[in-house]
């Protein structure tokens, strides 16, 4: 981990082409999406907070796709630890950094209660996915079945920073494209748009952001068909083999359902007392549980 004094020293040059063994070991743990990019080449909208990490250095973004991560995690992790998926992601990625980049210092930005980066915006910039009616990105290789697992800041300067059009180059080039502007618009070319008709709450619409309130209200109803799943996500015909298993689905959707329940109970209590808490205005998931694996 880095210290304040380490932040001041000049950055060492890192050749991304030498990272093949790092990508390999991460992929073995199911972290099959991995990109590294210089901070200086990123647009300001990816940042949610002022932080020294946005001045210089590089960001290493890791994500899982499909089922492999879940299988590895179930095999390796002690399930009785707090925030197991986040802890597992942080532990295996830090171990890999120590082993393959011992000369660099680094700082974890996610999982973290106050992650200073808008992960979905960063993923878009790096070409990981294109927009879908569900709001989450869709990836050519993993469909709707990917999520961010870890984000690390490194005191490194990458040898190459951007392509000829000025877009940051992601290493290694990933399934969709290394360049967001060149990624295929999967949902724009989808003939069925089955996700829209499949949503029982009419929360999903073409060319619009999903209505998260409708989704949340429906998920809390006693007869909800989306207590442990998302019918719209399951209906997507892209890469069906990557769909989460029933246990994986139930884990994540149980977690978000209880967060939504907590949020709405607090809001109702505030309404009764005439007091509006910060948690009622925006659900402070971090305050109630640091686990951020809402996948």
List residues binding ligand SF4 (CB under 6 A). 132-134, 138, 144, 186-187, 190, 193-195, 199-201, 203-204, 215, 218-219, 226, 230-233, 236, 238
> Which bin fits 193, alpha (ψ -120 to 50), beta or left (φ > 0)?
left
In Å, what is the CA distance from 69 to each residue of 41, 88, 196, 243, 291? Answer: 29, 10, 28, 12, 16
Give the nearest distance from C-beta 186 to ligand SF4 in angstroms: 5
Could you tell which of ligand B12, ligand SF4, none binds residue 132, using a CB distance below 5 to 8 A set by kind?
A: ligand SF4
Give the nearest distance from C-beta 184 to ligand SF4 in angstroms: 11
Nearer to ligand B12, 165 or 282 (CB): 282
Give the nearest distance from C-beta 17 to ligand B12 in angstroms: 28
Q: Quote the DSSP letter at residue 249.
A: H
Could you tell which of ligand SF4, ligand B12, none binds residue 283, using a CB distance below 5 to 8 A set by kind?
A: ligand B12
Could you tell which of ligand SF4, ligand B12, none binds residue 190, using a CB distance below 5 to 8 A set by kind?
A: ligand SF4
Three-state secondary structure of 208-224: CCCCHHHHHHHHHCCCC
DSSP H or E segment with residue 263: helix 246-273
Closest CA to 154 of 5, 7, 4, 18: 7
**Helices 84-100 + 20-28 axis angle, to 10:** 150
Closest CA to 136 of 245, 209, 65, 228: 209
Give the nearest distance from C-beta 80 to ligand B12 in angstroms: 22
Which residue, judged by CB position, is nearest to ligand B12 in the bound state? 135
Give the nearest distance from C-beta 239 to ligand B12 in angstroms: 13
Nearer to ligand B12, 57 or 111 (CB): 111
């Amino acid at each position: 981990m880095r210290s304040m004094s380490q932040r001041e020293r000049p950055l060492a040059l890192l050749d991304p082409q030498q990272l093949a063994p790092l990508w390999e070991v991460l992929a073995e743990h199911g972290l099959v999406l991995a990109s590294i990019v210089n901070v200086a080449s990123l647009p300001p909208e990816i940042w949610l907070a002022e932080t020294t990490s946005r001045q210089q250095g590089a960001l290493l973004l890791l994500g899982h796709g499909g089922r492999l991560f879940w299988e590895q995690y179930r095999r390796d992790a002690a399930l009785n630890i707090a925030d197991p998926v986040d802890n597992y992601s942080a532990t295996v990625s830090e171990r890999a950094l120590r082993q393959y980049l011992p000369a660099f210092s680094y700082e974890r930005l996610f999982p973290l209660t106050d992650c200073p980066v808008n992960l979905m915006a960063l993923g878009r910039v790096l070409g990981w996915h294109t927009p879908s009616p569900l709001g989450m990105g869709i990836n050519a290789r993993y469909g709707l079945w990917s999520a961010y697992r870890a984000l690390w800041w490194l005191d490194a300067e990458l040898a190459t920073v951007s392509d000829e059009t000025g877009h940051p180059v992601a290493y290694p080039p990933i399934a969709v494209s290394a360049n967001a502007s060149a990624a295929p618009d999967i949902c724009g070319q989808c003939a069925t748009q089955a996700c829209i008709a499949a949503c029982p709450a009419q929360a999903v619409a073409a060319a619009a952001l999903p209505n998260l309130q409708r989704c949340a209200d429906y998920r809390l109803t006693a007869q909800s068909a989306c207590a442990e799943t998302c019918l719209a996500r399951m209906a997507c015909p892209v890469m069906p083999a990557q769909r989460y298993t029933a246990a994986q689905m139930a884990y994540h959707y149980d977690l978000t359902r209880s967060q939504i329940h907590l949020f709405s109970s607090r809001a109702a209590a505030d309404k009764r007392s005439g007091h509006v808490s910060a948690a009622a205005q925006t659900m402070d998931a971090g305050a109630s549980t640091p686990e951020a694996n809402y996948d």
